[in-house]
Amino acid sequence: MIGIVTDSTSSLSPADAEREHITVVPLQVIIGAEVFTEGQDVTSDMIASALASFVPVSTSRPTPDDFLAVYERLAADGADAIVSVHLSSRMSGTLDSAQLAAKQASVPVTVVDSTQVGIATGFAAGRAAQARDAGEDAVGVADAARRAGESSTTLLYVDTLEYLKRGGRVGSAAALIGSALAVKPILTIADGLVSPLERVRTQAKALARLEALAVEAAQACDDGFDIGVQHLASVTTATAVAGRLATALGRDSIPVDEVGAAIGAHVGPGMVGVTITPR
């Protein structure tokens, strides 16, 4: 049996994780001086409120001991190999913790850098689970996750780059350019980093461009795709984006979810993101 592990930035719901037999290791979220555990005692609303009030918000990776405890529990439950799929190593030390734990685990652990964040990492973990259920060995399962991450397109609209700048997730120059020109940036994940893609003058134009880029990416997927929309404190806007995308792509609906606290801490209120992962 192959165990599949991911981290809480993957945005997998408890129901999805349980159905696909994926174990989720949570990140810590620090609001002011209080430490919370993602998925347990902190909500995205708490993050949005803190950021809007200029209360310091940061995140902390799981420790190697956290991962090792999970790996050993899976081994005790019968796993003879584990594939551990995580957010980009260029945005978090989570992967490093997983790799350190893998060296001490009693069963072989393959750690996969999805090079992504959010539901793109979740889709990569889901691909790993599908490969496992199809009878692939650990190498094949890890390859499925790696391919999913590397082929994903993640597009983000943010009201401001200020929150990414605060968290060190985008360069100061990009943040200053955005502020100086009063633009609405569209971002993407490139080479494992949040990178500016385009600058648009208004929110309406930025969202229209976001949707056009998402449709273009989806239509380039020859064998189908998974798609999802995420947001922070912007459910009305995100739902409208998802509805227009569903119409453009001939789908009945597209899932809309609020990002987890760890991602929300860096993107800030008003973020709307679209992820497309080819099948």
Weakest mean pLDDT among 5-19, 46-60, 106-120, 239-253: 46-60
The mean of the pLDDT values for the chain is 91
Per-residue confidence (pLDDT) for residue 100, from 0 to 100: 98
Per-residue confidence (pLDDT) for residue 180, from 0 to 100: 53
DSSP result, 151-185: H-EEEEE-S-SHHHHHTTSS-HHHHHHHHHHT-EE
CB atoms within 10 A of CB 68: 20
2, containing H or E segment: strand 2-7
Weakest mean pLDDT among 71-80, 162-171, 217-226: 162-171
Q: Which domains does the chain have, with CATH numbers?
A: 2-27+62-150 (3.40.50.10170), 153-278 (3.30.1180.10)
pTM, entire model: 0.91
Weakest mean pLDDT among 57-61, 164-168, 199-203, 237-241: 164-168
Q: Encode pLDDT of 71-115 as tens digits.
A: 999 999 999 999 999 999 998 999 999 999 999 999 999 999 999
In this predicted model, which residue has the larger pLDDT, 70 or 42?
70
Q: How far apart are CA 253 and CA 187, in angstroms?
A: 24
Give the residue from 268, 206, 203 showing the smallest Cα distance to 232.
268
Q: How far apart are CA 116 and CA 274, in angstroms?
A: 13
Give the residue from 77, 79, 154 showing the smallest Cα distance to 114.
154
Predicted confidence band at 173 (pLDDT cuts at 50, 70, 90)? very low
DSSP-derived secondary structure letter, 80: S
Find out whether 64 and 84 touch, Cβ atoms under 8 Å. no
Q: Encode pLDDT of 32-68 as tens digits.
A: 999 999 989 988 889 889 988 889 888 999 999 999 9
